[in-house]
Structure 1
Amino acid sequence: MNDQLPGRHLPKSVPLVERALTSLQHFLHVEAVSGIVLLVAAAAALLWANSPFAHSYHDLWNLPITLRLGEFVFVRSMHFWINDALMTVFFLVVGMEIRREIHEGAFSRFDQAILPVLAAAGGVVVPALIYLSFNTAAGRDHGWAIPTATDIAFAVGVLALLGKSIPGNVRVFLLALAIIDDIIAVLIIALFYTSGLDPGGFAVAALGVLMVFGLQRLGFGSAYAYIAPAFIVWAGFLMAGVHPTLAGVVLGLITPVRSLRPEIAPPVVRVETALHPWVAYAIMPLFALANAGVSFKGLELASGAQFVTLGVGLALCAGKPIGVIGATWLAVRTGWCRLAPGVTWGGVGLIGLLAGIGFTMSIFIAMLAFTDDKLLDAAKLGVLLGSLISVTSGLGWGAEYAQRQRKAIGD
Structure 2
Amino acid sequence: MNDQQPGRKLSQSRSLAERALATLQHFLHVEAISGIVLLVATAVALLWANSPFAHSYHDVWSLTVPLPFDGFTFKRPLHFWINDGLMTVFFLVVGTEIRREVYEGALSRFDQAILPVLAAFGGVIVPALIYLSFNTAAGRDHGWAIPTATDIAFAVGVLALLGKSIPGNVRVFLLALAIIDDIIAVLIIALFYTSGLDPSGCAVAALGVVMAFGFQRIGFGSAYAYIVPAFIVWAGFLMAGVHPTLAGVVLGLITPVRSPSPEIVPPIIRVETALHPWVAYAIMPLFALANAGVSFKGMELSGGAQFVTLGVALALCAGKPVGVIGATWLAVRTGWCRLAPDVTWGSVCLIGLLAGIGFTMSIFIAMLAFADKKLLDAAKLGVLFGSLISVTVGLGWGAEYAHRRQKGER
Shared fold per TM-score greater than 0.5: yes
Q: Distance in 1 between matches of 2:22 and 2:77?
A: 40
Q: Distance in 2 between matches of 1:77 and 1:379?
A: 22
Kindly provide the CA deviation profile for residues 87-118 of structure 1, in whole angstroms up to 9, marking residues without a partner as x. 00000000000000000000110000000000
Amino acid at match of 2:101: E
Residue 346 of structure 1 corresponds to: 346
1:299 alignment partner, SS class = coil
Query: Is the contact made by 1:150 and 1:359 (CA closer than 8 Å) also made in structure 2?
Result: yes
Amino acid at match of 2:231: F
1:175 alignment partner, SS class = helix
Q: Cα offset for 1:73?
A: 1.3
Amino acid at match of 2:300: E
After TM superposition, list the pairs within 5 Å mapping 1:193-272 onto structure 2: 193-272=193-272
Q: Distance in 1 between matches of 2:73 and 2:278?
A: 28
Residue 402 of structure 1 corresponds to: 402
Q: Distance in 2 between matches of 1:405 and 1:88?
A: 41
Query: Is the contact made by 1:169 and 1:341 (CA closer than 8 Å) also made in structure 2?
Result: yes
- Which sections of structure 1, spanning at least 5 residues, go unmatched? 1-10
Q: Distance in 1 between matches of 2:297 and 2:179?
A: 36
1:15 alignment partner, SS class = helix
- Which sections of structure 2, spanning at least 5 residues, go unmatched? 1-10
Q: Cα offset for 1:12?
A: 7.1
Residue 323 of structure 1 corresponds to: 323
Residue 135 of structure 1 corresponds to: 135
Q: Cα offset for 1:14?
A: 5.4
Q: Distance in 2 between matches of 1:282 and 1:261?
A: 33
Q: Distance in 1 between matches of 2:304 and 2:55?
A: 27
Root mean square deviation of aligned Cα: 1.2
1:181 alignment partner, SS class = helix
Q: Distance in 1 between matches of 2:15 and 2:71?
A: 53
Q: Cα offset for 1:70?
A: 3.2
Q: Distance in 2 between matches of 1:171 and 1:209?
A: 34
Q: Distance in 1 between matches of 2:265 and 2:159?
A: 28
Amino acid at match of 2:252: G
Kindly provide the CA deviation profile for residues 365-392 of structure 1, in whole angstroms up to 9, marking residues without a partner as x. 0000000000000000000000000000
Asked if 1:44 corresponds to 2:81, the answer is no
2:299 alignment partner, SS class = coil
Amino acid at match of 1:270: R
Residue 3 of structure 1 corresponds to: none
Kindly provide the CA deviation profile for residues 285-312 of structure 1, in whole angstroms up to 9, marking residues without a partner as x. 0000000000000211010000000000
Q: Distance in 1 between matches of 2:71 and 2:16?
A: 50
Greater relative CO (CA pairs within 8 A, separation 6+): 1
Amino acid at match of 2:238: L
Asked if 1:374 corresponds to 2:353, the answer is no
Kindly provide the CA deviation profile for residues 381-408 of structure 1, in whole angstroms up to 9, marking residues without a partner as x. 0000000000000000000001111121
TM-score (norm 1): 0.96
Query: Is the contact made by 1:259 and 1:267 (CA closer than 8 Å) also made in structure 2?
Result: yes
Q: Cα offset for 1:179?
A: 0.2
After TM superposition, list the pairs within 5 Å mapping 1:58-73 onto structure 2: 58-73=58-73
Amino acid at match of 1:67: L
Tell me which moved more, 392-401 or 13-22: 13-22
Residue 103 of structure 1 corresponds to: 103
Q: Distance in 2 between matches of 1:377 and 1:52?
A: 19
After TM superposition, list the pairs within 5 Å mapping 1:101-180 onto structure 2: 101-180=101-180
Residue 7 of structure 1 corresponds to: none
- Segments of 4+ moved more than 2 angstroms: 11-15
1:293 alignment partner, SS class = coil
